[in-house]
Structure 1
């Protein structure tokens, strides 16, 4: 191998290390913040979810389970809840979770209506691509405008998919992020 090939490999490894570090930072930041976003203002969840622990999330909690429930299934049906909790119903990768829809409302007559327009997804996107403080809707001179600084002029399909996966992971009880997750067929 020539020295230039070795340099290219080294640069590639450093870029991958940076990507992995950013993903870890996003995952850690989302874990606590997402609980704040799903908790009604001035209230608490009927069954408390700790900000720093993943257990008790996912289909094991009424609120996170409802958000993760595949569109088209009825989370209010106790049998559906039990089947999702015990893994009897496995969520195929082509079934969108309800949290991706505006007002968490799925229209079976028009499956595209409101898709990728939920307030939770917008908050997650802002948290990752602008700054965590941009979500509280209070103008601050300290907002970094990260997207502008880094030349982001529009949302990309990849960035929306990335944020959706980060938000989904933040809602689940899974301890480790895996793109080959068998429970939700994420790959």
Structure 2
């Protein structure tokens, strides 16, 4: 059912977000590296995940701001315009729509949830170091296994990216970046509000309005981008 599917997506994205961030280029990747088996050390207590879930109206580079967010002097429960949702992971508070919902991590999340068919076997196993702490091993490229299983988009007969699928993936990404281990136990963020806000962003503008045109253009962008982005990375798996 839907509950089991959501549980599968939560588990998968816990691992995949760690992989996305751990294997970025030097200087951009997670430091310390993220454990794909747990979300405990994510959220605002980690510099990279904290930056990604930080609202664009707050300056994450400012030490006082970071500390205020971490000690909850500054609340971010209902701040939905977070850096992870933006192109280049930056946003302009003077024009919050510019680059919104074009974040690479968000597109990666959509592709992982709706286009994943289990063709690549990547266990992401952990080994323990001498101090007993989990350490991330060097990535091992495995030969891709052909799979006849359909991806979720095929099962659902999805021929285009939809507003609801983007909203769902935004929720999955935000939760994967959080330190909370159990879905439904996070009272520090309004996930239902996030989902509804993104849905309203696409569906509420009056037909023919500037807002409606922008929403339609954004959906067109998504349908092109998910088809072509990361093609080089995909083909490199078979080299």
Gap runs ≥5 in structure 2: 121-143, 193-239
TM-score (norm 2): 0.63
- Once the two structures are superposed, residues 116-163 of structure 1 have per-residue CA deviations (whole angstroms, 9 ceiling, x without a partner) of 10110000001101106689xxx9964845413431022222211110
- Once the two structures are superposed, residues 26-46 of structure 1 have per-residue CA deviations (whole angstroms, 9 ceiling, x without a partner) of 000000110111234465632
The answer to whether 1:183 aligns with 2:188 is yes
Q: Give the root-mean-square deviation of aligned CA atoms.
A: 2.4
Which of 155, 167, 171 aligns to 2:177? It is: 171
Residue aligned with 1:183, SS: coil
CA distance in 2, matches of 1:132, 1:96: 31
TM-score (norm 1): 0.79
| Residue 54 (structure 1) shift | 1.3
Residue correspondences, number: 166
The higher relative CO (CA closer than 8 Å, separation ≥ 6) is in 1
Q: How does 1:83-94 map to 2 (within 5 A)?
A: 83-94=68-79
Gap runs ≥5 in structure 1: 1-17
Structure 1 contact 58–65 (Cα < 8 Å) conserved: yes
In 2 relative to 1, CA 39–133 (structure 1 residues): closer, same or farther, beyond 3 Å?
farther
Structure 2 contact 34–42 (Cα < 8 Å) conserved: yes
Q: How does 1:1-187 map to 2 (within 5 A)?
A: 18-41=1-24, 43=26, 45-131=30-116, 142=147, 144-178=150-184, 181-187=186-192
Structure 2 contact 54–83 (Cα < 8 Å) conserved: yes
In 2 relative to 1, CA 154–101 (structure 1 residues): closer, same or farther, beyond 3 Å?
same
Which shows bigger deviation, 19-28 or 40-49? Answer: 40-49
| Residue 165 (structure 1) shift | 0.5
Structure 2 contact 81–96 (Cα < 8 Å) conserved: no
Of Structure 1 and Structure 2, the greater helix share is in: 1
